[in-house]
Amino acid sequence: MSFINSLFGGQTKSTNEIEILDVTTFKVAISTKKIQLVDVRTKLEYNAGHIENAVNIDFFDRSNFTENFAGFDRAQPIYLYCRSGNRSQRTAKKLIQIGFKKIYDLKGGYKAWK
């Protein structure tokens, strides 16, 4: 791991619980009907454009982080994205800590999606 990655949390590291998906794989995965898809960008970023059916939960709203994810099924996979992949990776790590079992993160974020 490079020095920069160690400072910023190793942005593109997959684990057993967190899997980084490229755009094509992510699109196929979220094409099913019943998925949990979360955009962790700010409301302003979300309103400027987002993936269809994504719920917006602002990563920077840290005081309400656990409450914001309370309505989600922790046993079911959750799909995350942000602008470039940094915030969603940090969100994924926090979700594992509060009991989520499987998280899929969009590699390169919304920038890669467009």
Active site residues: 82
Look at residue 103 and give its three-state secondary structure.
strand
Q: Evaluate whether 36 touches 79 at the Cβ level (below 8 Å).
A: yes
Q: What is the distance between the alpha carbons of residues 42 and 79, in angstroms, rounded to a whole number?
A: 17
* Dihedral angle of Cα 7, 12, 13, 17, to the nearest 10 degrees: 120
Q: Evaluate whether 82 touches 109 at the Cβ level (below 8 Å).
A: yes
Structure tokens at 42: 């700010």
